[in-house]
A and B are shown apart, each in its own frame.
Chain A
């Protein structure tokens, strides 16, 4: 479903990604982890073309992201993305946030979009908040709305860019629960996250990145039981102490 082949990216002389290759098949849940600055957020943003890359190719549902002829808007409409800072639209109510892209991008009717939005809002447990504005919700609630907003587009896969990093600790779980449920329903997911508990429970594979390279790309069990690279061992040792 997602194929990443030898992707490299640099800002001027600074190499952000070097020769990254991996793939995600339908229904698979991949966790991407690594120290900050390792390029994991950049990699995931390359998947839907929010970041450009200079060499290599990324194929999503058979369409090349880097090809200048690709209609990126159309491709992105089919790929859900959840951001670290939620990025709900603050000038719109929750329902409008859920409906806007359905109406303007997919051309659904207002009623259909509202209907779908409310159903998804119910699913993330926030039906009561429909009329509120993003600023009136807690971080965890906003992130759940953001997930619902992405799901409203009926995406074929979902990208998560550190979805819990900006949250207060007590709100992390409500978001992870929604993500876990999604994974169990068979959604294809690529998640950049430091939540190793989530990775252990839900992921099929774990990718570990360091200095712009994919250092490990392993089945979850193998990664946690016996990381091959020294860098990953150090990383796990540090992160799992807590």
Chain B
């Protein structure tokens, strides 16, 4: 019978907390970039300018058709070399962390853009007509009328995606980043208590994600009572 030994956890908490900060940082960055870039992609996709719409469709389809781990590895292994070469950075300049984070954000943008596209389409077309009839330009109609309503409709979906995203951050361990999962793994490995650490890490992920998803439900009921 396996004997559980949890004693290495308390001492490792500061280290794990540092990892959690990285996980949260990556999540926050990916949410911000994902929403901004995703909004632009969604607007391109819906644009009547064909090349823009093709570009956005291609982008979204590409990123949604490859595994995240692969994208992270591309950005970890290939992109830094490429940038070094392009801008003549000295080899070994540490672009890997930011490059991996970038890859993560660009990947998530594809998913955000689809959510945002659906959100924009959920706003009745008459709202755009009414904005135009009042003399607004396309940009004003989008910014003042359509997007605020679209985002309001999307809040639950955006939050749900944020939860998925937070879980996905654990995949950055492939680039040796010490996020929460990576930190837990390292500690477990060092102390020979991998099983306990991974169970503990799983429990932490569960508690965070489950509470946030309850929060989403709460908001959903508040703003869209059935």
Residue of B whose beta carbon sits closest to that of A88: B130
Residue of B whose beta carbon sits closest to that of A51: B129
Asked if A105 and B134 make an inter-chain contact with CB atoms under 8 angstroms apart, the answer reads yes
The listed residue (A72, A83, A105) touching B126 by CB distance below 8 A is: A83
Asked if A104 and B145 make an inter-chain contact with CB atoms under 8 angstroms apart, the answer reads no
A48, A73, A79, A80: residue with the most chain B Cβ atoms closer than 10 Å: A73
Given contacts A85-B126, A101-B134, A101-B135, 14 further A-B contacts (CB under 8 A): A50-B133, A72-B132, A73-B132, A73-B136, A78-B135, A79-B133, A87-B127, A89-B144, A89-B145, A101-B131, A104-B136, A105-B134, A106-B135, A150-B133
Taking CB atoms and an 8 Å cut-off, the chain B residues in 129-149 that contact chain A are 129-137, 140, 144-145, 148-149
The listed residue (B130, B137, B152) touching A83 by CB distance below 8 A is: B130
A100 with B129: in contact, given A77-B135, A105-B135 (CB under 8 Å)? no
Residues of A within 8 A of B133 (CB): 48, 50, 76, 79-81, 83, 150
Q: Mark A42-57, 1 if CB is under 8 A from B, else 0.
A: 0001001010000000
Bound complex: CA A16 to CA B140 (Å): 30
Q: Mark A137-164, 1 if CB is under 8 A from B, else 0.
A: 0000000000001100100000000000
Q: CB of A91 within 8 A of chain B?
A: yes
Q: CB of A37 within 8 A of chain B?
A: no
Asked if A153 and B127 make an inter-chain contact with CB atoms under 8 angstroms apart, the answer reads no
Q: Mark B117-131, 1 if CB is under 8 A from A, else 0.
A: 000000010110111
Asked if B132 and A76 make an inter-chain contact with CB atoms under 8 angstroms apart, the answer reads yes
Residues of B within 8 A of A79 (CB): 133
Bound complex: CA A91 to CA B154 (Å): 14
Q: CB of A74 within 8 A of chain B?
A: yes
Residues of A within 8 A of B137 (CB): 73
* B141 → chain A closest CB, angstroms: 10
Bound complex: CA A138 to CA B110 (Å): 40
Residues of A within 8 A of B132 (CB): 48, 50, 72-73, 76
* A89 → chain B closest CB, angstroms: 6
Residues of B within 8 A of A72 (CB): 132
What is the interface of chain B, defined by CB distance below 8 A to chain A?
A: 124, 126-127, 129-137, 140, 144-145, 148-149, 152
Bound complex: CA A39 to CA B180 (Å): 63
* A90 → chain B closest CB, angstroms: 7
A76 with B135: in contact, given A90-B149, A91-B148, A91-B152 (CB under 8 Å)? yes
Please name the 10 residue pairs, one residue from A and one from B, whose CB atoms are nearest each other, closest first.
A77-B135, A87-B130, A101-B134, A81-B133, A105-B135, A87-B126, A76-B135, A73-B135, A91-B148, A73-B137
Asked if A104 and B140 make an inter-chain contact with CB atoms under 8 angstroms apart, the answer reads yes
B132, B133, B145, B148: residue with the most chain A Cβ atoms closer than 10 Å: B133
Asked if B129 and A104 make an inter-chain contact with CB atoms under 8 angstroms apart, the answer reads no
Residues of B within 8 A of A153 (CB): 134-135
Bound complex: CA A50 to CA B129 (Å): 7
Residues of A within 8 A of B135 (CB): 73-74, 76-78, 101, 105-106, 153
Bound complex: CA A83 to CA B128 (Å): 12
